[in-house]
Amino acid sequence: MPRWYWVLLAFAPLALAARAMGWAPLVIFGASAISLIPLAGLIGLATEELAYHLGPRFGGLLNATFGNAAELIITVFAIQRGLLTLVKASITGSIIGNTLLVLGMALLAGGVRNGVQRYDPRETSHNSVMMILAIAGLILPATFAFVDNDLPVVENISLIVAGLLLVTYLAYLAYTITNTDVLEQEGAANEASWTRRKSLLVLAAATAGTAVVSEMLVGAVEPVTRQLGWSEFFVGVIIVPIVGNVAEHFAAVQFAWRNRMDLSLAIASGSSTQIAVLVAPVLVFLSLAMGKPMNLVFAPLELAILVLATAVFAYINIDGESNWLEGVQLLALYAMAGVVFFFLPNALG
C-alpha cells in the first residue's frame, strides 16, 4: 500500500478537529477533500484483495459494486442537503474526468515511456457502446424537457429511463461475469496480500470513514463556495470527481506506464460506464425515496461535452493503438471544459 495513503489519511482527524473547534469552513472542506483521496483508495484496495478470495465471478461483482463507492456516498449526503446541482454536476464530471483526464494522463505517460501502445480493440468497443447508450439515457430526458417542460412528466421519464439503464447495466454485468476467461488469466498472475478478515475490516472502516468525511465535506460546500466565489456546479463537476477517484486515476496511469494499456482503458471506460448506467440511476431512485427527487435533465453545455468526450473516446480506441499525442489531445479538451465550467455559472448569475 503506498505510503502517501497514510500521510493523506492524517487529514481526516484534522477535519474532525476543525469542525469540533469551529474552524473556518475552508479548512474543513480542504482537509475533508484531501482525506477522501486515501479513503477512496483504501476502499479500492480492500475490494481488490477481497475479490481475490471470492474468485473471478463474485470478485468481479464486488469490484463493480464498490467501484465508485466514495462518490456515491458523497452524493447521497449532497442529496440529503438538497444540493442537487452538485449531485448532477458530479455525474457529468466523473464521466468526462475518466474519459478525458484519466485516460489522457494514462496515454501521455504510457506513450512517453513506451511509444505506440497496442491493445485489443474488441473489449473497448463494448465499453464504447455502453457509454453511447448511457449518454443517450442522459440526453433524451433533457431533449423532452426542452420541448415540454412539464415537471411531473419529466420526473416520470427520468425514473423510467433510470430503470432501463439499471437493467442494461445488470445485463452488461452478467455478460462480463459469465465470460471469465480474461478475469481468470489476470487472477492467476495475482494473489491476495491480505487475509479475508483484514480485507473486510479495512473495507468496513474505510467506508465508514468516507461517510463521516463526506458529510463534513458536503456541509462545508455552501460557505466555501460563497467565500471563494466558486459555484456549487463547479465543485460538483471538477472537485468531487477528482478527490473521489484519485487513487483509481493513479492506478490507470501506473498500468499505462507499465505498458498495460488494456487495463488503463478498462479502468477509465469501466468507471465512466458505471457512473452513467449505475450510479446516476441509483441516485434518481434514492433522491425520490429521500423526498428530494432528482431528474436526469442536464444543461445543454454538459450534454455537449459528454457527447464530445464519448465521441473522442470511441474514435481514439477504434484502431487498437495509442500514443502520447492522443493523451495531450484528451487533456486539452478536459482543460477547455474545465475553463468553461468555471466561468459559466458566473456568466449566468
Of the two residues 32 and 125, the one the predictor is more confident about is 32
Tell me what pLDDT residue 1 has. Answer: 62
The answer to whether 59 and 51 are in contact (CB under 8 A) is yes
Q: Give percent of the chain above pLDDT 90.
A: 47
Cell numbers standing for residue 81: 442537503
Beta-strand relationship, 117-118 and 321-322:
antiparallel
Q: Return d(Cα 125, Cα 314) in angstroms, integer.
A: 7
Q: Which DSSP symbol is given to 278?
A: I
**Owning domain of residue 106:** 3-348
- Please give the sequence-ordered ranges of beta strands (E in DSSP) within the chain, or none if there are none: 117-118, 321-322
Q: Would you tell me how many other CB atoms lie within 10 Å of the CB of residue 15? A: 25
Q: Return d(Cα 321, Cα 311) in angstroms, integer.
A: 16
Per the DSSP assignment, residues forming a β-bridge with 118 are: 321
Q: Return d(Cα 23, Cα 32) in angstroms, integer.
A: 13
List, for residues 278-320, the tens digit of each pLDDT value.
899 999 999 999 999 999 999 888 899 999 988 888 888 788 8
Position 153 confidence tier, pLDDT thresholds 50, 70, 90: very high
Task: Look at the block and give the residue holding cell 449526503.
Answer: 77
Q: Return d(Cα 206, Cα 243) in angstroms, integer.
A: 15
Give the ranges where the chain is alpha helix by DSSP (H). Answer: 3-9, 11-20, 25-66, 69-80, 84-96, 103-114, 121-147, 151-178, 181-188, 196-219, 221-228, 232-234, 240-257, 261-274, 280-289, 300-316, 324-348
Burial class (CB in 10 A: 0-12, 13-18, 19+), 223: middle
Closest C-alpha to 285, from 103, 75, 126: 75
pTM of the model: 0.88
Total tally of structural domains belonging to the chain = 1
SS3 163: helix
Cell numbers standing for residue 52: 481475490
Cell numbers standing for residue 162: 433510470
Q: Residue 42 sits in a domain of what CATH number? A: 1.20.1420.30
Q: Return d(Cα 228, Cα 220) in angstroms, integer.
A: 12
Cell numbers standing for residue 220: 462545508
The answer to whether 187 and 56 are in contact (CB under 8 A) is yes
Q: Return d(Cα 175, Cα 215) in angstroms, integer.
A: 36
Position 335 confidence tier, pLDDT thresholds 50, 70, 90: very high
The answer to whether 232 and 89 are in contact (CB under 8 A) is yes
Average pLDDT (180-202) is: 69
List, for residues 229-248, the tens digit of each pLDDT value.
888 899 999 999 988 877 77
Tell me what pLDDT residue 59 has. Answer: 65
Burial class (CB in 10 A: 0-12, 13-18, 19+), 185: exposed
Tell me what pLDDT residue 171 has. Answer: 87
- Separation of first and last alpha carbons in the chain: 45
Per the DSSP assignment, residues forming a β-bridge with 117 are: 322
Q: Which DSSP symbol is given to 322?
A: E
